[in-house]
Amino acid sequence: MLSELSASMSHLLRCLAVLALLALPNGAVLAQTSEQVRAEFAALWAAPTADATTDSEALRNYPLYPWLVATRLRMALADTGAGVDPQGVMAARAYLVEAGDVVHVRDLRRALLAAHAASADHAAFLADWREVVANDLLRCQRFDARLAAGDTATLAPEIADRWLDEAQLPEACAASFAWLKTQPQYTPALVERRVRARLLQGDSTRASSLLPQLAEQRQRRYEAWVRQLARPAGEFASLARGAPQLLDSEGFTDSWARWARKSPGEAADLLDAVAATQKLSVAQKQALQRDTAMGMALSRRPETIALYRQVPDRLLAERDHEWRVRAALWAGDWNQAFNWLTQLPEAMASQPRWRYWNARTLDALGQRGEALQRLSTLAAENDSYGLLAAWRAGKGWTPINEPNPVTVEQRAALEATPAFVRAREAWLAGIKPIASLEWADALESVPAAARPALVREAAAMGWAEQAIVTATKLGIFRDLDALFPRPYPELVRKSAAEAGIAPAWVYSVMRKESAFKPDAVSSAGAVGLLQMLPSTAAMTAKAAGQPAPGAEGLKDPALNVPLGALHLREVLDKSDGRWQMALAAYNAGFGAATRWRPPQTMDADVWIENIPYNETRTYVQRILFHVGVYQWLETGKPVRAGNWLPPVEPAPATP
């Protein structure tokens, strides 16, 4: 017993020693960091130990040392099989009081809350709760703690909100959801709200599981909705023959819209019959016409314009306005496009996109003078429509470059902000997770007048992704030297030359795909600077007589950049040398880009505007803008986009 007490006291003393070491003034972060101290920290960060007694004085003064202390305290909270050591809990709580809610203690607080939950110390859990560290598990555990503590006055509505909003109900909240079902707030009306919410998301499986809890009449209504989602063609055909409609207006319109987007031709064939047999009002029929027209527009069908003409403007959402203009452009109906452009809501009409198309339609309708005036004005914009406007005006495009160097006052403000100092040091030490968290904290804590300097600082550090993200948050878009870096210059030039493409295309795709992160991995498994799938890289490497690099190998710029450039060349060759199609294929796949070919020769800008995937359309437009910027940075000469935007041809006839 005495030995156990002695061990426990020893553990507590070590924890308190750690706390004492951390109670250092923030001024210590201003000390110069040597490579030796950085290496000492990196070694301990990679394999932290609980013993702080051997830490050097220089390490204790190191800007990132608080992260190591918080990690050691978190290690002391680990359950070794005999439960969490209460002395570790005491030390962690004491440190959190001392440190406050700063970024480096967030994982420590999460670990402390987990320890409270494991030991069923509900009062301590609630006392130490902070929303800033919340995640799904902890929120569920907070529900449990409040239940155990009897804090239930407002609990049922809060749990109900969570139950309504979640698609996949978290298992950790099972006890709270079970309690909710015993409360007066759990009514058939609440169940019906979740059923509707799931069905409006197309989630018929989870909705169906709740139907037995509804009254028979309500249950039949939602069963019909489930059937319409599962078998829309058959269900709507039955309605066209006069079968009774059980859904309310919202459910009926939603299920029709989903079907019309997937099968617009079938929906159009049944529309009049459904409207007649179901005795729909004029407005209800027009809503079906609107949703069917959207499906037609996304499929680029010639019937789109006639269908949209039957829909009054008052029923159009912003997306409908967009796609009826695009449909008219695709059909080459410039008069209709111009008429619909003049009917755009004011907020849309002022956007560069629609200002450009307004000028383009005027030009197509023979009003060249007015069109040139509008195009010339728009050509001053730093975006893809400014680039296109210059092209259509017959001019070269020069982006606006407004360098934003760091002032002496801004530099002083940054150096006086501990979060910035720690973020910079973490980046230099190669510890990116810490760097990112501290940078986010710095963005909030740096004085407002000095925040623009963060863009230049990130760029100077070689942290291109952070420079781009920070600039976007601060609304800085014209400091082109900072926002359009050119890393790996020799590698990119050599790879581009071997692939037979200009370096600007490689840099532009690299910027959009990975923001210059060599180790970037997408949710689809694409890897590296140019985001290549390992399977694609293997085929490209084989064609070049090289071994397949594998996923880890693709994180090496020396492998990724040459293969990515060669793959760009492959896609460009398959796209008849048209970059707009090649970029669409690089993003959405060659099959999709091939399906999107027009029925007749079409101007490049019209084709790009009608790419049906929002992500791919934006991807193509942004890369074209990036290419323009990179070409200008390289040559200093006005850019002529027409040189790389020839018309798009129809797909070759198959024998």
DSSP structure class, residue 531: T
* Nearest in space to 353 (alpha carbons), one of 648, 606, 643: 606
438 is catalytic: no
What is the longest distance spanned by two Cα atoms in the chain? 98
Residue pair 116/77 in contact by the 8 Å Cβ criterion:
no
Q: What angle do CA 218, 275, 330 make, to 5 degrees?
A: 115
The single-letter code of the amino acid at 545 is G
Q: Please enumerate in sequence order all residues whose Cβ is within 8 A of that of 168, keeping only pairs 6 or more positions apart, or say none.
A: none
Alpha-carbon distance of 288 to 267, in angstroms, equals 9
- Give how far Cα 35 sits from Cα of 11, 31, 44, 56, Å: 32, 13, 14, 14
Burial call 372-410: b when 16+ CB within 10 Å, e when fewer: bebbbebbebbbbbbbbbbbbbeebbbbeeeebebeeeb
Q: Please enumerate in sequence order all residues whose Cβ is within 8 A of that of 639, keeping only pairs 6 or more positions apart, or say none.
A: 387, 390, 396, 397, 398, 399, 628, 631, 632
Structure tokens at 461: 């550090």
| Ramachandran category for residue 595: left, alpha or beta (phi over 0 → left; psi -120 to 50 → alpha) | alpha
3-state secondary structure string across 18-41 = HHHHHCCCHHHHHCCCCHHHHHHH
Structure tokens at 335: 């008069």
**Which sign does the torsion angle of CA 314, 316, 322, 325 carry?**
negative
DSSP one-letter string for 144-188: HHHHHHT--TTHHHHHHHHHHH-SS--GGGHHHHHHHTTSTT--H
Catalytic one of 192, 381, 425, 513:
513
Please list the active-site residues: 513
